[in-house]
């Protein structure tokens, strides 16, 4: 992988696809600057090697160039986070932008307007990509969050920089860390797959079975497996059309020598509410009218035991409805077990929107080895797919 560290940017202009798709509040202020901080090493590295940076990103899903989706709202926060004045131009192609780029001096940053103000961005339009490409000497992709999209700025544009394209440091480190699990993981390798539905994780599970030793299945999706084996799950979340899939996964795991760990007990509730009446029940004997919303104490101990013996750990998806305090303990205990194993030398990687939200909520994000910044992109890598944004930099 060629990265920005392999290029001398002296007096050169770098067009960097960043992921500045950050959340804004009703006053249009940035409420979480994680993605801006994640792009900082790449930007600073280019500025320090004597170049200038032209930043391009999307923000939200504009339909008609609505003001709320303008990247001008993030200029102050980006300036503060990067420690360098971020200049802004209210378009991303055309004469006005080319003028602003021509005036850009080494050490300076220019942020372009939302790429998705043009439908051509998502369409992967080649002309639009060519117009963007005119702005700079080098193309750098550092937007892991959109690397699974074949959009104009994330993939198509790379063809206009056959020699002068490279990975940003964030994108490179995402790929390296995922490969530390998928390609060169030290055994025993344990994957924890949780979340609401098995249907959204089937391809991930099928792909990783070849690479892991243990599979912990938690969260709502576990009840489809429990029911498929004849358990009584009350009103827990179940996908009845995936019962056979669950059985097939278990059979395939056995064939591949992967040990599957399902919850044995659950925190049950009489409604989907933080104030519900709760109890503990074996997962396969949940009374009618009750639902499993978190892993029970016996399960937490069993999962922690597997994790403590793992050298490589991949975590995607919470094992309970962690957003509600009454059902957060399973996810907290799992996070703590992973933190302990990491302290003892295991490599732990977690990703997927909800797991990241969970570890942040419980302040465990600094206690795992790596937190991936891309939900959909990470899932597609786990599914074994080639991401267009990465592929375009390699060929
Ligand atoms: P996903 O986006 O598929 O990773 O699912 C994450 C969501 O799964 C979170 O919002 C959790 O609240 C939810 N979840 C976890 N466990 C359960 C459960 N037992 N029943 C219903 N939802 C759950």
On the question of pLDDT at 357 being above 90, the answer is no
User: Distance from the CA of 293 to the center of ligand 1, in angstroms?
Assistant: 8
Residue 351 and residue 318 in contact, taking contact as beta carbons nearer than 8 Å: no
* pLDDT at residue number 215: 98
pLDDT tens string 137-189: 999 999 999 999 999 999 999 999 999 999 999 999 999 999 999 999 999 99
Q: Which CATH superfamily is domain 185-382 in?
A: Phosphoglycerate kinase, N-terminal domain (3.40.50.1260)
Sign of CA dihedral 203, 209, 213, 217: positive
Atom of ligand 1 nearest to the CA of 318: 15
Query: Taking the model in full, what pTM does it have?
Result: 0.91
pLDDT digits (tens, 9 = 90+) for 220-231: 999 999 999 999
Indicate if the pLDDT at residue 248 is higher than 80.
yes
Give the residue numbers marked as catalytic. 35, 197, 353, 376
User: Over the chain, what is the mean pLDDT?
Assistant: 96
Mean pLDDT, residues 268-275 taken together: 98
Higher model confidence: residue 352 or residue 174? 174
Contact between 291 and 268 under an 8 Å Cβ cutoff? The reply is yes
- The tens digit of pLDDT for each residue in 38-50 reads 999 999 999 999 9
The structure tokens 């597997």 sit at 306
Count of other CB atoms within 10 angstroms of residue 95: 8
Using the predicted structure, report yes or no on whether residue 356 has a pLDDT greater than 90.
no
What is the CATH architecture of 4-168? 3-Layer(aba) Sandwich (3.40)
Q: Indicate whether 268 pLDDT > 90.
A: yes
pLDDT at position 334 is 97
Closest ligand 1 atom number to CA of residue 218: 16
**CA-222 nearest atom, ligand 1:** 19
Written as one string, the DSSP assignment of 70-110 is -GGGGHHHHHHHHTSPEEEES-SSSHHHHHHHHTPPTT-EE
Q: What is the percent of the chain where pLDDT is above 70?
A: 100
Residue 355 has pLDDT above 90, yes or no: no
Q: How far is CA 19 from the centre of its chain?
A: 12
Mean pLDDT of 334-356: 93
For tokens 């295991």, the residue is: 346
Which CA distances in Å does 170 have to 19, 30, 150, 174? Answer: 10, 21, 19, 6
Q: State residue 208's pLDDT score.
A: 95
For residue 375, what pLDDT is reported? 83
Count of CA atoms in the C-beta half-sphere (13 A) of 256: 19
Closest protein CA for atom 11 of ligand 1:
321
Query: Measured in angstroms, how far is the CA atom of residue 134 from the centroid of ligand 1?
Result: 45
The residues near 390 (Cβ < 8 Å, ≥ 6 apart) are: 147, 171, 175
- Is there a contact between 170 and 144 (Cβ–Cβ < 8 Å)? yes
C-alpha of residue 350 to centroid of ligand 1, in Å:
16
91 pLDDT tier (thresholds 50, 70, 90): very high
Segments of the chain assigned E as strands: 13-17, 52-56, 86-89, 109-112, 138-141, 165-167, 189-193, 214-217, 232-233, 259-261, 265-269, 278-282, 285-286, 291-295, 312-316, 347-350, 370-371
Local confidence band at 235 (pLDDT 50, 70, 90 cut-offs): very high
Convert the pLDDT of each residue in 168-179 to its tens digit.
999 999 999 999
Common-topology check for domains 4-168 and 185-382:
yes
Whether the pLDDT of residue 104 is over 80: the answer is yes
- Residue 36: pLDDT over 80: yes
* Beta-bridge partners for 14: 53, 138
181 and 314 in contact (C-beta within 8 Å)? yes
Q: For the chain, which residues make up each domain, given as ranges?
A: 4-168, 185-382
């Amino acid at each position: 992988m060629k990265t920005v560290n392999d290029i001398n940017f002296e007096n050169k202009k770098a067009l960097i696809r960043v992921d500045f798709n950050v959340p804004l509040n009703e006053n249009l202020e940035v409420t979480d600057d994680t993605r801006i901080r994640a792009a900082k090493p790449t930007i600073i590295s280019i500025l320090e090697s004597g170049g200038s940076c032209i930043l391009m990103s999307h923000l939200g899903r504009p339909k008609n160039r609505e003001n709320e989706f303008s990247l001008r709202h993030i200029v102050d926060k980006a300036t503060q986070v990067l420690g360098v004045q971020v200049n802004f131009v209210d378009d991303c192609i055309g004469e006005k932008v080319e003028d602003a780029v021509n005036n850009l001096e080494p050490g300076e940053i220019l942020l372009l307007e939302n790429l998705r103000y043009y439908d051509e961005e998502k369409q992967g339009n080649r002309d639009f990509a060519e117009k963007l490409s005119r702005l700079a000497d080098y193309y750098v992709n550092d937007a892991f969050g959109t690397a699974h999209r074949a959009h104009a700025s994330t993939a198509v544009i790379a063809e206009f920089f056959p020699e002068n394209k490279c990975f940003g440091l964030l994108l490179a480190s995402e790929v390296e860390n995922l490969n530390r699990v998928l390609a060169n993981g030290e055994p025993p390798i344990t994957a924890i797959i949780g979340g609401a539905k098995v249907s959204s994780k089937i391809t991930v599970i099928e792909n990783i079975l070849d690479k892991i030793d243990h599979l912990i299945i938690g969260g709502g999706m576990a009840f489809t497996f429990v029911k498929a084996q004849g358990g009584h799950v009350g009103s827990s979340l179940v996908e009845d059309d995936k019962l056979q899939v669950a059985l097939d996964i278990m059979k395939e795991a056995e064939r591949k020598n992967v040990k599957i760990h399902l919850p044995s007990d659950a925190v049950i509730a009489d409604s989907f509410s933080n104030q519900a009446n709760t109890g503990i029940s074996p997962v396969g004997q949940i009374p009618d009218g009750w639902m499993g919303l978190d892993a029970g104490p016996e399960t937490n101990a069993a999962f922690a035991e597997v994790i403590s013996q793992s050298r490589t750990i991949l975590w995607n998806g919470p094992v309970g409805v962690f957003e509600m305090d009454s059902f957060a303990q399973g996810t907290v205990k799992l996070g703590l077990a992973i933190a302990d194993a990491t302290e003892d030398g295991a490599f732990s990687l977690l990703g997927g929107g909800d797991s990241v939200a969970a570890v942040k909520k419980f302040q465990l994000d600094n206690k795992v080895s790596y937190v991936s910044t891309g939900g959909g992109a990470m899932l597609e890598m786990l599914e074994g797919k080639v991401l267009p944004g990465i592929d375009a930099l390699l060929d």
